[in-house]
């Protein structure tokens, strides 16, 4: 009939110590996984940016005299140049020949 609180407290501490140990292992594992994932992510980004440009770009884009480019974009097999006189010039991949010219108009 000796129900001493020391026995119950000892049992609770054993369970509590096991739970705390388990939580420490989980937190350590999560921290290690996060660090490894961050290192892998940074490595992939750096490798991606170091890849050579596989699309050959021309040395220069030849535009008609007096025309200034305001924007340039590249598509599969063509370049588009938006000019300051409200035109879009579609150039061949060599950047020398105009394939098509589109006029931009503000009709309201």
User: Rounded mean pLDDT of the chain?
Assistant: 83
Do both 13 and 29 map to the same domain? yes
Do both 60 and 18 map to the same domain? no
How confident is the model over 20-31, as pLDDT tens digits?
A: 999 999 999 999
- Give the helix/strand (H/E) hosting 25: helix 5-50
pLDDT band at residue 97 under the 50/70/90 scheme: confident
pTM of the predicted structure, to 2 decimals: 0.49
Total domain count for the chain?
2
Parent domain of 98? 55-108
- Give the helix/strand (H/E) hosting 89: strand 87-91
Cβ proximity of 78 and 91 under 8 Å: yes
Do both 77 and 43 map to the same domain? no
75, HSE (Cβ side, Cα atoms, 13 Å): 8
Give the CA radius of gyration of the chain.
34
- DSSP letter at 103 equals E
Do both 71 and 22 map to the same domain? no
How confident is the model over 59-81, as pLDDT tens digits?
A: 888 888 888 999 998 888 898 99
């Amino acid at each position: 009939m000796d129900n001493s609180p020391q026995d119950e407290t000892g049992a609770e501490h054993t369970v509590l110590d096991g739970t705390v140990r388990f939580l420490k292992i989980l937190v350590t594992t999560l921290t290690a996984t996060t660090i490894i994932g961050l290192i892998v992510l940074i490595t992939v980004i750096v490798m991606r940016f170091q890849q050579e440009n596989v699309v050959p770009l021309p040395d220069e884009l030849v535009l008609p005299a007096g025309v200034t480019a305001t924007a340039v974009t590249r598509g599969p097999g063509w370049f588009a140049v938006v000019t300051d006189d409200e035109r879009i010039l579609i150039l061949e991949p060599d950047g020398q020949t105009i394939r098509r010219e589109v006029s931009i108009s503000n009709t309201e």
